Structure 1
Amino acid sequence: MQEIDWQPTATMTTLRERARLLAEVRAFFAERGVLEVETPVLGHGGSTDMHLASLSLEATTPAGRERLWLQTSPEFHMKRLLAAGSGPIFQLARSFRDGEVGGRHNIEFTMLEWYRPGFSLDNLIEETAALIRHVLGRDPGPLRRRRYRELFREALGLDPFGVGLGELRRLAGERGALDMGDAGRDDCLDLLMSLVIEPELGREGLDVVVDYSASQAALARRHRDPEDGQWVASRFEIYLAGLELANGYDELTDAAEQRMRFAEDNAARRRLGFSEVDVDRHLLAALEHGMPAGSGVALGIDRLIQLALGRASVAEVMAFATPNC
């Protein structure tokens, strides 16, 4: 008989420390009057994002047999609560992304997500940095804002918004030792970001990357780059020790714009031979009803706990990581 490894991937000492740090997260938000909520891990829509792989299942519901989607984050449900008048809310949510396995990833993981009606993106950046320092129990260093374009100019000597696609494919192929001949612009930029730029971020403090390409706005608003008037995404990512910890948005509240972005995502999925993902009509209805303007952020709490406890991988801070689940 084949021996089965049934043991946890984290030690019991680590799991006790994890519980302590999660209590610190809850205390942080309780002090600020942010309500903890729980939302379903299943929904009628999934993430249409090209770079996320949603998992689905067939279930018997009051409507009969239906396809339901395991949520890649609690975003859609939490925005429905915002539209219903919840005020500021946070959640420690079980989330699922197919194929994401490695030292920094797991198919099932815990996402810390919170929303602040009335907050500017700058307000939320400051609060996210405060939360990170609170959980770490130390000051990792100064908070630095880094513009996406400037990072590419410094590391690679190119403007990511102006360089030709052919040159971008060539450079990405060389750096990644891959055939990028048919790759799209964002795929090339993402590869260069992950291989060349990200490993150096957050080495001397908390690095906040802002003003991403408009095509990477996802569910964020867009604004004009003061440099030359190009549209850029109103979002940020925070890095520490080469790890992306958080991804925040000045949240899109326009239902028509969100509907168009969902359609564009699924059209792109079809072009590349990917399966379409069901659009969350409940979210669109909530946006049509009216969601208050504000900002929201998703933070990978497993990664933050990993850094706080000095562990080598997220598996070491999870009770049962893939494939040991």
Structure 2
Amino acid sequence: MELSLEELRRKKLTNLSQSPFQQTKFIRTNSIEKIIYSLSQFSKEELAEKKEKASIAGRILRIRNFGNLTFSNLTDQTGTIQLKISKNKEFTELDIGDIIGVKGTICKTDKGELSIEVEEFTLLSKCLKPLPDIHYGFNDIEERFRKRYLDFIINSENKKILIIRHKLIQSIRRFLDEKEFIELETPILVSEASGAQAKPFITHHNKLHRDFYLRIATEIPLKTLLVGGFEKIYEIGRIFRNEGIDARHNPEFTTIEVYQAYENSEHMMNLTEKIFHYLAKEVLKKEEFEFNSHNISLKENFRKLSMIEAVREYTNIDLSHINNLEKALELAQKHNLKLEKFQSSIGQIILAFFEEFVEKKLIQPTFIYDYPIEVSPLAKSKVNNKNIADRFELYIGGLEFANGYSELNDPIEQKKRFEEQAKQKELGNEEIASFDKEFLEALEYGMPPAGGLGIGIDRLIMLFTGQNSIKEVIAFPQLKSKEK
């Protein structure tokens, strides 16, 4: 009976004189990236004269035999390099996917390909299952995300996305740290699901005999730290929302929230633009790129439009003269705008017009400001108009990337807003945040005027890596249950 590929691999393992899984360490002198960067410019003859030695480790992704010569591709976290092996029967017994350490001399082949001529190798881990085909990949996209480790093995470009993710987050921290912001950590398990409009996950603490929520935002605890005397703070952390899964949403995702005492929304808007320009220059090294099938440019100052102006410009619908609910409802009906029961105010209808007809059309970086106060429960209202929030959002490629405002620090007004939200919850809005009594009490001790900013990190990575699905920028995205 013919053995399967997996059985053959396991048989090879049992035939080895020493198990590779007993290996605990392999000393490397270089990464593949450093070898390529420092030596690829030399000719075959120059490398032969240099006799540069290297000790590297990685996974075999390709093996080609040509008589007494074997060529193989070895990959580590940083890149891929060719191995050249002469008259080595033991090496030909290796399989694609095996992890090895090699020592040898850096050279170039007759075709000019940078390689390592292997003098000795050590099997460090045996790959007991055949890898997916490197060229054809996965037939099932869900399976690719389910077995993400295999995706990263055979697709170096997808691995690079996570490396860029790391660099972007690192650069955001550097940018804020240089401006004397302090990074703080706040709880993930919270007693109230507040700080945003979202449906929370609920969990139970056995010893305390009580339910907790997984946080839906970091806003409330960070603002209580402003009460405590911190003035320039931020947090990069995981957020959890019990909502849908699609190309732009994952139930757990990463955000950054930034707060600065004695500043306002205008300052935070300028800070937002500076962050995006900084990341484009520092990480991407360019200010023009493709995203969502559009050419995006970060070269110019970002455009600024009020929500009313944006609706008028993109739909020719003028909402500035709507001063009673009946007229707003008539206009919604005229334009076939579907409204939920809780969308029962002028402000909510204005937002519905914007989200339905304008959002997707905001391609180049655009700040939308002057949000209705009804949909901005934690923001201050404009001094000259109590119905308008001192708030902005940033849109690029038809997606929202940032949200900021002048923080409401009046405990009496904040209590009133929470009470108004509770009425919306009764009308069926499941995304209304909890009535947070502890936050109200903190505000009663006095919070300085402050500007706040939130940016979705995952969408930011999508933007700077040109990805249309959030799954591509998260190492382990949530997926539907696998059918049995």
* Superposition TM-score tier, normalisation by shorter sequence: 0.7 to 0.9
Q: Secondary structure at the match of 1:153?
A: helix
Q: Give the superposition deviation at 1:275.
A: 8.8
Cross-structure match for 1:294:
450
Q: Give the superposition deviation at 1:263.
A: 1.7
Q: Structure 1's 120 and 7: CA in aligned 2 closer, same or farther, altered over 3 A?
A: same
Cross-structure match for 2:424:
268
Question: Contact 1:220–1:251 (CA<8 Å) still a contact in 2?
Answer: yes
Question: Contact 1:245–1:300 (CA<8 Å) still a contact in 2?
Answer: yes
Q: Secondary structure at the match of 2:209?
A: strand
Q: Give the superposition deviation at 1:230.
A: 6.2
Cross-structure match for 2:336:
173
Cross-structure match for 2:219:
75
1:7 aligns with 2:151: no
Cross-structure match for 2:344:
184
Q: Distance in 2 between matches of 1:79 and 1:13?
A: 35
Letter in 2 for 1:166: L
Question: Contact 1:48–1:265 (CA<8 Å) still a contact in 2?
Answer: no
Q: Give the superposition deviation at 1:82.
A: 1.1
Cross-structure match for 2:392:
236
Residue deviations 1:147-186, cap 9 Å, x none?
Answer: 1111122223333354413323314535xxx576985345
1:41 aligns with 2:204: no
Residue deviations 1:38-59, cap 9 Å, x none?
Answer: 111121111386x522222222
Question: Contact 1:83–1:289 (CA<8 Å) still a contact in 2?
Answer: yes
Q: Secondary structure at the match of 1:289?
A: coil
Structure 2 regions of 5+ residues with no counterpart?
1-139, 153-157, 288-297
1:57 aligns with 2:213: no
Structure 1 regions of 5+ residues with no counterpart?
none
Residue deviations 1:71-106, cap 9 Å, x none?
Answer: 111001111111111220011111112214222211
Q: Distance in 1 between matches of 2:425 and 2:463?
A: 35
Q: Give the superposition deviation at 1:202.
A: 3.8
Q: Structure 1's 134 and 192: CA in aligned 2 closer, same or farther, altered over 3 A?
A: same
Cross-structure match for 1:18:
165
CA RMSD of aligned residues (A): 2.6
Identity score, percent: 28
Q: Give the superposition deviation at 1:124.
A: 1.2
Give runs of aligned pairs for residues 37-186 of structure 1, distance below 5 A. 37-47=184-194, 51-61=197-207, 64-137=208-281, 138-139=286-287, 140=298, 141-160=300-319, 162-163=321-322, 164-171=327-334, 173=336, 184-185=344-345
TM-score, normalised on structure 1? 0.87
Q: Secondary structure at the match of 2:192?
A: coil
Question: Contact 1:172–1:192 (CA<8 Å) still a contact in 2?
Answer: no
Question: Contact 1:214–1:231 (CA<8 Å) still a contact in 2?
Answer: yes
1:207 aligns with 2:357: no
Q: Secondary structure at the match of 2:392?
A: strand
Q: Distance in 2 between matches of 1:89 and 1:172?
A: 44
Q: Structure 1's 276 and 245: CA in aligned 2 closer, same or farther, altered over 3 A?
A: closer
Question: Contact 1:172–1:180 (CA<8 Å) still a contact in 2?
Answer: no
TM-score, normalised on structure 2? 0.60
Cross-structure match for 1:318:
474
Q: Structure 1's 150 and 38: CA in aligned 2 closer, same or farther, altered over 3 A?
A: same
Between the two proteins, the alignment pairs up a number of residues equal to: 312
Question: Contact 2:198–2:432 (CA<8 Å) still a contact in 1?
Answer: no
Q: Secondary structure at the match of 2:206?
A: strand
Q: Distance in 2 between matches of 1:115 and 1:20?
A: 22
